[in-house]
Chain A
């Protein structure tokens, strides 16, 4: 029997497709299906409950979770972008040691998330943290502050830690974009009397528009699903004030052992994520054209 090229190509993709089904599709579908069942990790079996779990999630903490997830996502996208862009602009000039600085600034990005979390946990620790010692030394605070134990500061602390980890990636991407801008454009604009701000607004930003959109959208999607730094730093506390969809799904499934509610939360989370992914695909296809 002879195989055609198409059939042969299909045959070659089968192992990869089977692997994808086994490690991605099956667990995903299985988790989402659990949204329609009452199912506990502690007991075998499950009962079909229709949309009850989804209704319960929507009438519960969903809006608070959505707000907190958006606060975290927007904060950890915009802050690293601003810092990364600023550093990329600085490193794109002919300052001394630019190459060494570029390498050094990549370190936070190379450090695993859990290590970053522990590092910042020590910095923010209420009882023996570096930040309290520093601020007390400077006279900025009179007594140690519980940065991670107060709802007003815990989310800010988590955003700071994630920003420290993410800004190098933003910086590298934007720096790569900056290096594609022809220097002649700046020279010509300078000759025409354009100042620094005008050159930035009229040459740099339009030239980087595509890459800026892409890095912001990608970072937004990643942060929307981010788990490790939040979980290690605060575990979603205090009093649930730093829970996002990612930590709430984990907590519901693996601490609350309630697979049904976790599945329902995961399903709604995935729908929201789906909108972002569609945006990304639309944006990247537009960029290619």
Chain B
């Protein structure tokens, strides 16, 4: 039997088998050679990183960052990757997913051995990523770089320096001072009662204005946990979940009231809130300093930057400390062939003074080194100064962050809060269900 191959004449059975064997061999060789394609460059001068540790051979690696998906941050970060890459003579491949998908996608890639290199992480995710057992201990890269104590501590899991701090702050209330002035207010009131009254007045402005663009979509409904704390719930105490207590039920009942009265908007996550605030359609929203760059850049109001008013969260009783959720990014490194170079990059990105100050100037993200914080550009930024004084000063990490299942705990609680908002569950039942789900996840 022979097979006629057009243009090549008759192909015998033996020929076809030989052809297949050669093809298989070539594919095998290609697969083997692809494992060794890392670009190694022996002339890796430590010019970009200053103090460097580890291998002298710089190697290509990947850098994962959700910020690369965001318009305001993309040019800044890709510029930094190019600068470090050019100095070292290597290629840094950017890897990016939107914020709400990032942790899941990266977890899958790291677990499956598909990713190695450096990665941006929210401080809330460090324990989750660390549980995979593939993060490098960066203690030696943290030494002598001038990181603040608070910065170093957010990068640690069980005492191991799994991440180098890149930026730190908090998530708190940001208001549009101009809209507040329209209802005769010059600041956000300090009591819940007065805050609610202000929201009603803001609603009276009409024109579709959402007084408080609080998160109501599951993705960012974790914000409601800070309100639970404001009402007196500790969330976790001695390893026991306390959601479901009177305080948490009261907080969710109050949140539902705001929802029903249209004082907070339906179907809003952080990105919707930024968009609404940027367009002047929302008077107050929750955000970290990272939101400022995008909000200002996308606004039709060229003066919006000067109208941003960071505000302390109202308290239940006079004298209570205003609640805020600590926020920040670290850079972690996944073990692999290029882990030394990736660690040098993480160190340079987060502690080189010129780099961190340039990052702050472009995006307004506070540095985590003493030198960076002392830079004129940082000290003279009134928004950051006000934000630090009114919000970051009393910010606390979530007690759930220490659990690798933090993401699932957050989602379980958020889904129950959403069920209350849309009328599918009562606050008491939903909080009891949230406690049960969260307890099952941490036990």
Docked Cα-Cα span, A148 to B419, in Å, equals: 14
The segment from B66-74, B154-162, B263-271, B348-356 found at the interface with A is B263-271
**Is B250 close to A, CB under 8 A?**
no
**Is B82 close to A, CB under 8 A?**
no
**CB-CB under 8 A for A42 and B128, given A15-B20, A149-B267:** yes
Please tell me which one of the listed residues B17, B108, B131 contacts residue A43 in the complex, with CB atoms under 8 A apart: B131
Docked Cα-Cα span, A98 to B275, in Å, equals: 42
**CB-CB under 8 A for A255 and B411, given A8-B1, A144-B208, A148-B267:** yes
Interface string of B390-410 (1 = CB under 8 A from A): 000000000000001101100
Docked Cα-Cα span, A230 to B382, in Å, equals: 44
**CB-CB under 8 A for A255 and B422, given A126-B266, A127-B265, A148-B267:** no
CB neighbours of A3 from chain B (8 A): 13
Chain A residue at smallest Cβ distance from B404: A42
Q: Is the beta-carbon distance between B108 and A254 smaller than 8 angstroms? A: yes
Interface string of A217-256 (1 = CB under 8 A from B): 0000000000000000001011111000000000000111
**CB-CB under 8 A for A127 and B415, given A3-B13, A254-B108, A255-B407:** no
**Is A215 close to B, CB under 8 A?**
no
Chain B residue at smallest Cβ distance from A254: B104
**Is B424 close to A, CB under 8 A?**
yes
Chain A residue at smallest Cβ distance from B423: A151
Docked Cα-Cα span, A143 to B131, in Å, equals: 47
Please tell me which one of the listed residues A5, A146, A241, A257 contacts residue B267 in the complex, with CB atoms under 8 A apart: A146
Q: How far is the CB of B132 from chain A (nearest CB, A)?
A: 7
Docked Cα-Cα span, A237 to B418, in Å, equals: 9
Chain A residue at smallest Cβ distance from B272: A127
Please tell me which one of the listed residues A235, A239, A256 contacts residue B408 in the complex, with CB atoms under 8 A apart: A256
CB neighbours of A241 from chain B (8 A): 422, 424
Which residues of A103-135 are within 8 A (CB) of B? 125-128
**Is A150 close to B, CB under 8 A?**
yes
Q: Is the beta-carbon distance between A146 and B415 smaller than 8 angstroms? A: no
The segment from B52-60, B187-195, B210-218, B360-368 found at the interface with A is B210-218
**Is A63 close to B, CB under 8 A?**
no
Interface string of B297-322 (1 = CB under 8 A from A): 00000000000000000000000000
Please tell me which one of the listed residues A42, A128, A235 contacts residue B405 in the complex, with CB atoms under 8 A apart: A42
Please tell me which one of the listed residues B13, B216, B262, B405 contacts residue A8 in the complex, with CB atoms under 8 A apart: B13
Q: How far is the CB of A17 from chain B (nearest CB, A)?
A: 14
Q: Is the beta-carbon distance between B267 and A42 smaller than 8 angstroms? A: no
**Is B439 close to A, CB under 8 A?**
no
Docked Cα-Cα span, A85 to B107, in Å, equals: 46
Q: How far is the CB of B336 from chain A (nearest CB, A)?
A: 18
Please tell me which one of the listed residues B107, B133, B275, B418 contacts residue A257 in the complex, with CB atoms under 8 A apart: B107
Chain B residue at smallest Cβ distance from A145: B266
Residue picked from A44, A126, A238, most chain B C-beta under 10 Å: A238
Q: How far is the CB of A111 from chain B (nearest CB, A)?
A: 20
CB neighbours of A239 from chain B (8 A): 415, 418-419, 422, 424-425
Q: Is the beta-carbon distance between B13 and A41 smaller than 8 angstroms? A: no
CB neighbours of A238 from chain B (8 A): 418-419, 421-422
Docked Cα-Cα span, A234 to B107, in Å, equals: 23
Q: Is the beta-carbon distance between A257 and B422 smaller than 8 angstroms? A: no
CB neighbours of B281 from chain A (8 A): 127-128
Chain A residue at smallest Cβ distance from B265: A127
Q: Is the beta-carbon distance between A237 and B218 smaller than 8 angstroms? A: yes
Q: Is the beta-carbon distance between A42 and B132 smaller than 8 angstroms? A: yes
Docked Cα-Cα span, A146 to B281, in Å, equals: 16
CB neighbours of A257 from chain B (8 A): 107, 405, 408
Chain A residue at smallest Cβ distance from B275: A128
Chain B residue at smallest Cβ distance from A256: B408
CB neighbours of A127 from chain B (8 A): 208, 210, 265, 267-268, 272, 276, 281
CB neighbours of B404 from chain A (8 A): 42
Please tell me which one of the listed residues A5, A125, A240, A254 contacts residue B415 in the complex, with CB atoms under 8 A apart: A240
CB neighbours of B257 from chain A (8 A): none
CB neighbours of A146 from chain B (8 A): 266-267
CB neighbours of A151 from chain B (8 A): 422, 424
CB neighbours of B133 from chain A (8 A): 44
Which residues of B409-443 are within 8 A (CB) of A? 411, 415, 418-419, 421-422, 424-425
**CB-CB under 8 A for A149 and B208, given A41-B108, A126-B267, A238-B422:** no
Docked Cα-Cα span, A41 to B128, in Å, equals: 11
CB neighbours of A128 from chain B (8 A): 275-276, 279, 281
CB neighbours of A237 from chain B (8 A): 217-218, 415, 418
Q: Is the beta-carbon distance between A125 and B267 smaller than 8 angstroms? A: yes
Q: How far is the CB of A232 from chain B (nearest CB, A)?
A: 11
Chain A residue at smallest Cβ distance from B131: A42
Interface string of A138-176 (1 = CB under 8 A from B): 000001101011110000000000000000000000000
Chain A residue at smallest Cβ distance from B281: A127
Docked Cα-Cα span, A146 to B267, in Å, equals: 7
Q: Is the beta-carbon distance between B111 and A41 smaller than 8 angstroms? A: yes
Q: How far is the CB of A206 from chain B (nearest CB, A)?
A: 46
Interface string of A1-31 (1 = CB under 8 A from B): 0010100100100010000000000000000
Docked Cα-Cα span, A151 to B419, in Å, equals: 9
Q: Is the beta-carbon distance between B424 and A255 smaller than 8 angstroms? A: no
Interface string of A251-269 (1 = CB under 8 A from B): 0001111000000000000
Q: Is the beta-carbon distance between A149 and B216 smaller than 8 angstroms? A: yes
CB neighbours of A143 from chain B (8 A): 262
Q: Is the beta-carbon distance between A149 and B415 smaller than 8 angstroms? A: no
Ordered by A's residue number, 12 sampled pairs between the chains whose C-beta atoms are within 8 Å are A8-B13, A42-B131, A42-B404, A126-B268, A148-B267, A149-B267, A151-B422, A151-B424, A235-B219, A238-B419, A238-B422, A257-B408
Chain B residues in the interface with A (C-beta under 8 A): 1, 13, 17, 20, 104, 107-108, 111, 128, 131-133, 208, 210, 216-219, 262, 265-268, 272, 275-276, 279, 281, 404-405, 407-408, 411, 415, 418-419, 421-422, 424-425
Query: Top 9 A-B pairs ranked by shortest CB distance?
Result: A146-B266, A149-B267, A239-B419, A126-B267, A149-B266, A146-B267, A239-B424, A126-B266, A238-B422
Given contacts A5-B1, A149-B217, A240-B415, 14 further A-B contacts (CB under 8 A): A42-B111, A42-B132, A126-B265, A127-B268, A127-B272, A143-B262, A237-B217, A238-B418, A238-B421, A238-B422, A239-B422, A239-B424, A239-B425, A254-B104
